[in-house]
Structure formats: C-alpha cells, structure tokens
Structure 1
Amino acid sequence: MSAARIARALVHFAPASGAWVPATQAAIAVAGPPAVFAAYGQLHLGLLAAFGALIVLYLSGQSRRERAAKLPVIAVGFLVGTIIGISTGSSLPTSLLAMSIVAVVFSYVSLTFNVGPPGAIFPVLTAGSMGQLTAPVSMGGGGVDPLLIISVVALGVVTGYVVIVAPLALPRVRADDAKLRHDYRWTYSWGSDSVRIFARLTVAIVLAVLASASLGLHHVGWVLLAVISILQKDSDLHLGALRMAQRLIGTALGVCIALVFMLWIPEGFALVAVVGGLVFGFVFFIRSNLMFALMLVTPMALLLVAGGSRPLLEASMSTRIIDTVVGGVVAAVVLYAVGVTRRWGVRGYAPRGASEGV
C-alpha cells in the first residue's frame, strides 16, 4: 500500500447519520455533574462523577427503550470495576492482577454480548484511575476517601442513565423511539471472530501487565487502554495495524492539544465546557475514525484525572505518552506474531509441488 493510501486510510472520515444526537447526550451527561458541583465550589467531585457518567457512551446506536433496559447492567460493571480498582490500588502486584482480570472479563463480555465500542476501555480507565486516587499518598496515590469515590462515581452513573431515559417521559420522544428497532434481551454469541479477538486480547493483556510490572508502571490501566482500543474491534490484521497507527497518532495529537492547557488551564465552568466539548467530539468520531476520536478523548481524560491541577496535568501527560507507547508496542508484537503464525500455516498447508517450485 502506498504512503498516500495509508494517509487517506488514517484520516478517512464518514460520519454516521445522526451522530450528533448521542454526542449531545454524552456531552450533557458527562458535563452535567461537574457543572452542578462547580456551582457549589466542589468541581473536583463533579469531575470524579463524570467517570461514572461515561456509561452514556455505550449502546449509543440503540433505541432509548433498549438502552434503558441494558445500561443498568453496564452500570453495575462500572461500579464493580471501581470497587476492584479501589480495593487493590495500594499494592502494585495486586493492582496489576486486578486490572488484568477487569480487562479480560470486560473484553469477554463486550465481545460475546455485542456491547460494541468503547467496549472494555472505560471500565478499565475508571478502575485504574480510582485505584490511583485512593491509594496512599506514600505510594504515589491521591489518598482520597474510597467511600467518597464510590459515592460520586455512582452518582455519575445515575446521571448518565437519567439523561438517556428521562426524555421518554415526553410523548413525542416515546412515539419516535417506538419506531426504532429494539431488543431487550442480551444475545450471547461466540463466533470465530470473537474467539480470535479474545485470544489476542488475553495474550496482549498478560504481556501488558508483565511489561508494566517490569517497568514499575503503577498506571497499567493506561497501558491496557492502548492495547484494548487497538485489538478489540475485529480480527483483520490490516485493520488492526491501521488502528494501532491511529491510536498512537491520535494520542500524540491529543497530548499536543493538552499542551495548550499548560499555557491556560481552564477552571470552573470553563473546564466543564471544555470537557463537554471534547466528549461531544469523541462520541461524534468514535464510529468513523479512531484517530480523531482519540485526539479528543485524550485531553478529556487528562483533564478529568488532573481535576484542574496543573502539576497533576503535567505528570499525567508524560506518563500518558509512555503508557501509550508501551501498549502500542505490546499490541504490535501480538499482531506481528499472528501474522507470522498465519504465514507459517499457509506454508505448512501448501501443496507439495508448490513448495518444491513446481
């Protein structure tokens, strides 16, 4: 493939019809809690609640009725992941083990029950971030009260759910929503593509955890985010390589955008507005171009974790780059190994005459 075709594939963008609707819902749900808390001088709690509100990003292509029935299951997953992250965040070995379990379990559930993007990404992000925030200060954590964290994340989960379901109280919305296809059942599917994707993810998750342990990285969640976003969508090797490039480039561009905040870091309602705008862009692009989506979600995640603190933002940016590179390398190793194995398989099954040059 020529350089021009690769470049076109990286930036190709075909927006889905009506993508602005779920993008608007997401912006309202994620920016809502910080706006309310900011009014009472507790913006940092609102930013923590925004992690729970990220459930609004799931099942965005489904009807409100279907999302009303299924999002509570995802919400429980968010809270379970948060509790696991908090319970194990004070120890590197237990944190690495717990994060690997969270990543594997949520990847399996996402694949087999057709949850769709963003899949296991945000449960892993939430578990890792909350674990870091509640870990003792002596171990590099934030020392925040675990019960407070769980409470505000749960509040964010409820907020995200209400934003999706509340409009059904309007007759016009109910009538329009009734015309959409909806299925309240969770359908289990374990096809060949799912098997291949899950096998690669599991191997990559194990390698990512081992790499994090050897490098002493306490923020394995960020490494896993890179691995999952590259490998979780489908089993095609070329598309996997394309997503890897999009992930690395998108994250790099996102960090460049975040550099603006080193000159001017938004505060109060300005920070809320910036986070809301970045979430809107992420959801708008997520199904059409991973690079653009990650370019916007990266500074959003950095702002949420930093909570408006310049020192925390500086530290988050440097570690974000390192973690993404480590995750990208792990995903590249797995994709390369799969490609080599396939070539060996083709040669092994080649006709005898063909292998002898006949």
Structure 2
Amino acid sequence: MVLAVGTAVGPPGALFPVLGAGVATRLCGAPEHGGAGLHPRLVLGCASAGAVLAYLVVVAPLALPAVRRRDRGIPVAPLRFRLDRGGRTVVLRVVVAAAVAAALAAVLGLDRGYWVVVAVVAVLQSGPGRRVSGIRAVHRAAGTVLGGGVFVLVAALVAPPAPGLVLAVVLALLQFGTELVVVAHYGAALVLITPLALLIAEAGAAGDPWTIAGERVLDTAIGCAVALLVLVGDRLLEGRPAA
C-alpha cells in the first residue's frame, strides 16, 4: 500500500496485490477449512503464466518499427517515491480499516474474509478526500449487489458440463465491458467486476451461486461500513481541539 501510494501508480493501486493474496489463500487452503486444496505451485504457475502472457500482449506491438518510432517521442516520467501528507493520510486510513476489517471477519467467522479487506482498500485508496471515498463506498456496495445477480445468471451458463472455452469467453467479455465503463462510472463497472472476480475465484467450486453471491454482498457491505466508520472517525479526530 505504501509503495502504491508513494509512487502514484494510479488505479487499481494496491487492490490487486490484496485481492491476489486473498484468492491464492482461498485456492491453496485446506478443504476442511473452506479452501480449494490446490497445490501452491499450481496457483503460482498459473498466475505467472497469466502475467507473462499479458506482458507479451502489451509489448507485442513494439515489434513494428512504426510503433517504436511513435513511442520514442513520448516522454517517460521517472519513477519517484513521495509520500506527502495526503498520501500518509490514505495509508493510515487503509491500515487502520484493514486491521479492523480483518479482525471483524475473523470474529464473525467469514469464509472469505479477504473480501471485506478488499472492499476497504478499494474504497479508501482513492485519495484523501472523504467525499470521494464515501461515494466510492456507495458505488461499491450497490454495484456489488447488482453484480451478484449477474454472477448467478452467468454461473448457470459456465457451470459444468460447459467447456472451459465458454468460461474463457465469458471472462473476456466481462473484462472488456469493465474496461469500457470503469473510468466513466465506478458503480457500473462493479456490476461487471463482481461476476468477473467471483468466476475467477470460484471456478470449479461446488458452492451454490446464490450463497456465494450473498456472501460477497454481505462481506462487501461490511467492508464499506468499516471504511465509512474510519472516515467518520478521522473527521472527528481532525475537528477535535489540540490538547
């Protein structure tokens, strides 16, 4: 989180490292504890293969001389680390909220407690502005509710015995739609991001789609509530007179 904020990498910031760690824990976890029981090397190998493939797709156009000439004239800003007051505020909020969210998920015995932490990070990492973070919390909660319904519908399409190719096509369409709308409207993007994330994390699982979607909505609502409470607490502390 500190590196993401200090280097100003932009969206999605620290979200995917947090999400990746949570999904990997779920996939590698023992079945008796709610995990999928996959071997860590398999999960790491699949993630690495996906990263390499994505990198090759991005750099492939550089094989064309015209593309290299065009990109040569684009200035590249040097990577610098700078954690100003606003950045420190964001980091502090995320750290406090993530700790509260993780503890709350453990106390409540949530099967996918990382969803609560992911919601916290997604809401609070956007910047120091409370209004923007509050709006993101509403968008995330509402978008997740609608996206959960989309997941239930899509899960029926890609459930076994549907071939893996159908799942790949559905994931590609959801990702394409997400890229089209995520800049314009965060809540609308969540309608597509939610089934996308659930299909990736729960593909091949025997869980009931309605139950999975309901748990996702509940965990996201808890995470958004924690984020909002941290924002309120931060505002109260800021307005308190110094001793």
1:198 aligns with 2:91: yes
1:176 aligns with 2:70: yes
Are the equivalent residues in 2 in contact too, given 1:113–1:188 (CA < 8 A)?
yes
Structure 1 residue 139: deviation in Å? 1.5
For the aligned residues, what is the CA RMSD? 2.0
Are the equivalent residues in 1 in contact too, given 2:36–2:205 (CA < 8 A)?
no
Figure out how many residues of one structure are paired with residues of the other and give that number. Answer: 240
Q: What aligned pairs does 1:259-298 form with structure 2 within 5 A after superposition?
A: 259-265=152-158, 267=162, 268-298=164-194
SS at match of 1:202: helix
What corresponds to 2:79 in structure 1?
186
What corresponds to 1:117 in structure 2?
11
Q: What aligned pairs does 1:90-129 form with structure 2 within 5 A after superposition?
A: 107-129=1-23
What corresponds to 1:336 in structure 2?
232
Are the equivalent residues in 2 in contact too, given 1:306–1:313 (CA < 8 A)?
no
Structure 1 residue 314: deviation in Å? 4.0
Structure 1 CA distance for aligned equivalents of residues 155 and 179 of structure 2: 25
Structure 1 residue 315: deviation in Å? 4.1
What corresponds to 1:239 in structure 2?
132
Instruction: Give identity over the alignment, percent.
Output: 31
Structure 1 residue 163: deviation in Å? 1.1
Residue of structure 2 aligned with 1:230, choices 123, 133, 144: 123
Structure 1 residues 284 and 180, CA gap change in structure 2 (3 angstroms): farther
What corresponds to 2:203 in structure 1?
307
Structure 2 CA distance for aligned equivalents of residues 132 and 218 of structure 1: 9
Structure 1 residues 188 and 262, CA gap change in structure 2 (3 angstroms): closer
Structure 2 CA distance for aligned equivalents of residues 313 and 167 of structure 1: 40
* TM superposition outliers: structure 1 runs of 4+ over 6 Å: none
Deviation string 1:216-256 (CA, Å, 9 cap, x unpaired) is: 12422211111011100111111111111111111111112
Could you list the runs of 5+ residues in structure 2 that have no partner in the other structure? Answer: none
Structure 1 CA distance for aligned equivalents of residues 57 and 133 of structure 2: 34
Residue of structure 1 aligned with 2:142, choices 234, 245, 249: 249
TM-score (structure 1 length as normaliser) = 0.63
Equivalent position amino acid for 2:107 in 1 = S
What corresponds to 2:51 in structure 1?
157
Structure 2 CA distance for aligned equivalents of residues 180 and 292 of structure 1: 32
Are the equivalent residues in 1 in contact too, given 2:102–2:114 (CA < 8 A)?
no
Equivalent position amino acid for 1:274 in 2 = V
Are the equivalent residues in 2 in contact too, given 1:197–1:231 (CA < 8 A)?
yes
Are the equivalent residues in 2 in contact too, given 1:271–1:308 (CA < 8 A)?
no
